[in-house]
Structure 1
Amino acid sequence: MLQTPQELVERYQREGWWRDIVVTDYLDRWADEKPDQVALVSHFYATDRTATLSYRQLHRLVDRAAWALIDLGVGPGDRVAVQLPNWWHFTLIYLACARIGAVIVPITPIMRHLQIKHMLDRTEARVMVIPPNFRNFDYGAMMEELSDELPSLRAVIVVGDPVPEGMLSFERDVLLQRREVGRSSEELRMLRPDPIHDVGAICFTSGTTGEPKGVMHSQATIMYHSRSPGSVLGLNRDDRILMGSPLGHYTGFAFGINMPLALGSKTVLMDMWEPETAVRLIAEEGVTWTMGATPFLMDLTRTDALDRYNVSTLRYFVCAGATIPNALVEEAHQRLPCRVISAWGMTEDGAVTFVRPTDPPSRAAESDGGPVPGMEVRIVNPVSREPLPAGAEGALEARGPGQFVGYYKRPDLWEEAYDAQQWFDTGDLARMDEQGYIRISGRTKDIVIRGGENIPVVEVEEILFRHPKVREAAVVGTPDPRMGERACACVTLNAGEQLTFEDLQTWFDQSQTAKQYWPERLEVFDELPKTPSGKIQKFLLRDWVADRTE
């Protein structure tokens, strides 16, 4: 299934980047060496309570959940989809999958019917794990509606109550059934996956086509991601991370689950981002670093809760996903005790570049950093693919052991993204300075980045086009001081028609797509700017929208 060329597989093993280590190897080690140390603190915003698990407890429950998956007919290579908030159950199910060689499909809670059907159908997932309700959305009802369209799905496991008829209860059918009793732990160990050649996770992202692509990572690439940022930042087992980014997003998955386990440190999970709660948890749990997009940093910097809690343990805020305004970096360094570290990466290759802690503090507003050990980046001419000199803007390419191992069931997309020297076209535009640090300057991908989340523009445009009043449609990003960008729907209408923003919201609600994908602004034009061939000129359209803003 791996699409990585064999010569690269051998090279990364030879150089020590890809190792014979699975995430559950670390779990076994820490459960043996420090069984009573806290592994997870999971905060539930709705009830303002926390659940705490030691490494001993986590280890025992992982094996129990692994047997539950086996009893459901899940085996090595089978896919298990998890659409949960940042609850400890997410970590547990992932580790249970890794224990038996199953492949996790992490999904963010914002995804709805259209995206879920595509992801589960594409991966032929055997099991889906969901909450019953979260943030006023009924996940059980969604799965009841979709189940008949998903022939490969054998079971839906619901964490919490109520549990719809025909679905399984996580608490009653997984936790309370002591399936490990009388069964050999050695039998589970026999199912340990090959970290080099087996796929460990399929993480969906959106690209230029707007179709979610299944990015495959092996345990070798996931464990590489778990080590490299820690070496750059000097993290160790005494560090404690606060993770507010969704575990269903690769940022949360890599650095909120895998990295702390590799370090043997403590993770504090937030199922809903709220800055005062974040500040309180930092103070109570002695959090030393956190990671999130620019809006998280802005919220944390500007909350008055900083005046009521001691957050002196916080050393780093790693900010990725969108450009950090210079004024925000200055404000954060005045209000917070930590260094702001800017970084760049993507689902396909994890965190690739970091500003170093030894750099001047202002560097976080000027650069997205240099590559982590093992990775390479370069700037090339978008047409000729020839390298460009320092300071020139061009297409950003990357290569190295952090690269994903293929697009699930789409090897053609893999081949399109790589050249003969295995440089990966990231789809971003950037400049590189004399130190080898990059600065993202734009995107060749047709996406909008809202608060660090990619909005698949083509998918949104297709929904717009289906509206009976719309003649033409295009979506562009508009600058926003908090979210980085917001999506603006630009349309022309059929003769005699009118369309309000409220009409648009109703239409997207009926489309059953993720609310975060909905346009947050509507502009109606008589005509859209086009090339002679009829292609919409979005760079001009952005200017038109900006003119209406002024």
Structure 2
Amino acid sequence: MLAAGLWRDQTLLDHFRRHVADRPGKTALVANQAATGTQLRLSYADLDDLSDRAAIGLMRCGIGEGDVVSFQLPNWWQFTVLHIACLKVGAVSNPLMVIFRERELTFMLGLAASKVLVVPRRFRDVDHRAIAQAIRPSLPALTHVFVVDGEASESFENLLAADATAEELATLRARRLSPDAVIQLLYTSGTTGEPKGVSHTSNTMLSNLVPFAQRLHLGQDDVIHMPSPMAHQLGFMYGLVLPAMLGATAVLQDVFVPETMARQIGEERATFTMGATPFLNDLADHCLRTGAATPTLRIFVSAGAPIPRALVTKAREVLGAAVLSAWGMSENGAVTTTRPEDPEEKVAGTDGCPLQGMEVRVVDPLNMPVPVGEEGQLQVRGCSNFVGYLKRPGLARVDAEGWFETGDLARLDADGYIRITGRAKDIIIRGGENIPVVEVEELLFRHPAVAIVAVVGYPDPRLGERACAFVKLREGASLTFGEMVAYLKAQKMAIQYIPERLEIVDDMPRTPSGKLQKFRLREIARALAGNSIPQERTS
């Protein structure tokens, strides 16, 4: 990768410090809080100063190279400051989705041996401080918890050292993290029943963003709007790292509301945005319904699920922007995208072609490439592939030639564009959020009324997929949809993971060998969803 010039042996700080020196007064970040209606604008000099103070605060907490700093935050300015601060001290950033509760957090923080956790006091009516305090006794490595809008010693403000000494600043400036050191730990849901900690270095991450920016013609004059959570790889790489690398301006939206997104794009003259299909659909519908305009928006990249052709046509006409499709994973960022100059049939009919430095192939069960147009297992290799799963080396399915088994099924066309056709791994993608099916099934199986359970996805025009739980009850038992929801909530499961449907069945379809036929259940769920009003679980 070095010889090919794909790994440039740079870190984000190399780019960031150049922008601070060249354009200190330029707006680096516009952060909005929906709950308070407040907005904070930070220049590159402001961001550098705040991240220095946070970095020194982390040093005073005993944080050094390789230590894990976890932050469960929305798209707030503190998120960006913390990542840059972690880079400055050599720590590993571990962003956590705000939907996670006690169960998920205890596992994730424990596996990472996180030393610092930063949470909001409250967000969307959830008391994150109380959750952090409840799990802290079971996490011996967790020495510090800081709370945004908290009080006294736990306040995030106390992490921001206001009295940095010349010696501390000199120590900070003298450090330079190796571009091959792990800088990010991001959990992704797997089929094994536990999340996997994806590890990235500066080289793997930046080698994705440089060709991505080149293909989409993005530069320092762009304004990048990010409505997707930065605790997702999409939001992290393209809403935080990309603008800081380019010297561009980032506009953060902490709660997705299409009216707010349209207004922010208009007010800040945003030129680029990226999100799952529901973001594109809802923004286009709002603009069509209200006449709101987004004249500066040049590109909307939609990733996470195939884009319906009708939506591409509608969004292009209404938004006046190029709508591009993309495919990628937490493990490698955006591997494929369409190009701004591609025709509509490529955008709606494919998930793009590989970025420079990445390769894709579609193979049969014997690992042999299949003919053009035939379905097979999608494998990728190249510069932006992750460096492993934290403490789970055996879970990374990478062969001796560097091909990573994605778990997705795909077709490859004659032009080198892929089309994702399904998933070999048992994950439902709901609105861009991976649902860990095995984990949901295991919890439901513990319910005293449940004899057999299987959770499958079914199509949804807005979210891409929803989840349906098929349950065979124990003799004499009963289970209602409301009881299922209440039970999973009581297990502290994230609300987004709870199925939207419950179907009680007499038995499950199986093969002659007794293996559950989930494809049959998907067919049943699809038919049921098409002929009835879906059940809804409420937050």
Work out whether the TM-score is over 0.5.
Answer: yes
How many matched pairs? 530
Q: Distance in 1 between matches of 2:195 and 2:221?
A: 37
Which of 287, 305, 310 aligns to 1:322? It is 305
Which of 242, 252, 260 aligns to 2:243? It is 260
Which of 387, 406, 411 aligns to 1:405? It is 387
Q: Does 1:61 align with 2:50?
A: yes
**8 Å CA contact 2:441, 2:453 repeated in 1:** yes
How far off its partner does 1:307 sit? 4.1
Q: Distance in 2 between matches of 1:435 and 1:421?
A: 24
Residue in structure 2 matched with residue 5 of structure 1 by the alignment: none
**8 Å CA contact 2:327, 2:352 repeated in 1:** yes
Report the 3-state secondary structure (helix = DSSP H, G, I; strand = E; otherwise coil) of the residue aligned with 1:81. strand
Report the 3-state secondary structure (helix = DSSP H, G, I; strand = E; otherwise coil) of the residue aligned with 2:2. helix
**8 Å CA contact 1:301, 1:335 repeated in 2:** yes
Q: Distance in 2 between matches of 1:77 and 1:310?
A: 46
1:59-458 to 2 correspondences below 5 Å: 59-161=48-150, 163=151, 168-171=154-157, 173-175=158-160, 177-196=161-180, 198-304=181-287, 307=290, 309-381=292-364, 383-414=365-396, 417-458=397-438
Report the 3-state secondary structure (helix = DSSP H, G, I; strand = E; otherwise coil) of the residue aligned with 1:362. helix
TM-score of the pair, normalised by structure 1: 0.94
Q: Distance in 2 between matches of 1:52 and 1:181?
A: 27
**8 Å CA contact 1:67, 1:179 repeated in 2:** no
Deviations 1:106-125 (A, max 9, x none): 11111111111111000100
Deviates more, 1:536-545 or 1:514-523: 536-545
Q: Does 1:470 align with 2:450?
A: yes
Q: Distance in 1 between matches of 2:410 and 2:288?
A: 37
Letter in 2 for 1:460: V
**8 Å CA contact 1:330, 1:362 repeated in 2:** no
Q: 1:55 to 1:500 in 2, by over 3 A?
A: same
**8 Å CA contact 1:243, 1:270 repeated in 2:** yes
How far off its partner does 1:334 sit? 1.8
How far off its partner does 1:182 sit? 3.0
Q: Distance in 2 between matches of 1:521 and 1:204?
A: 26
Report the 3-state secondary structure (helix = DSSP H, G, I; strand = E; otherwise coil) of the residue aligned with 2:263. helix
Taking only aligned residues, the RMSD between alpha carbons, in angstroms, comes to: 1.3
Deviations 1:472-519 (A, max 9, x none): 000000110100000101000011122111111110110101110001
How far off its partner does 1:309 sit? 4.0
How far off its partner does 1:210 sit? 3.0
Letter in 2 for 1:131: P
Q: Distance in 1 between matches of 2:41 and 2:290?
A: 27
**8 Å CA contact 1:279, 1:305 repeated in 2:** no
Q: Distance in 2 between matches of 1:269 and 1:16?
A: 32
Q: 1:306 to 1:38 in 2, by over 3 A?
A: farther
User: Identity over aligned residues, as a percent?
Assistant: 48
How far off its partner does 1:33 sit? 0.3
Residue in structure 1 matched with residue 466 of structure 2 by the alignment: 486
Q: Distance in 2 between matches of 1:375 and 1:409?
A: 26
Report the 3-state secondary structure (helix = DSSP H, G, I; strand = E; otherwise coil) of the residue aligned with 1:210. coil
Q: Distance in 2 between matches of 1:459 and 1:546?
A: 22
Letter in 2 for 1:264: G
Letter in 2 for 1:544: I
**8 Å CA contact 1:127, 1:153 repeated in 2:** yes
TM-score of the pair, normalised by structure 2: 0.96
Structure 1: 5+ residue runs without aligned partners? 1-11
**8 Å CA contact 1:225, 1:254 repeated in 2:** no
How far off its partner does 1:310 sit? 3.7
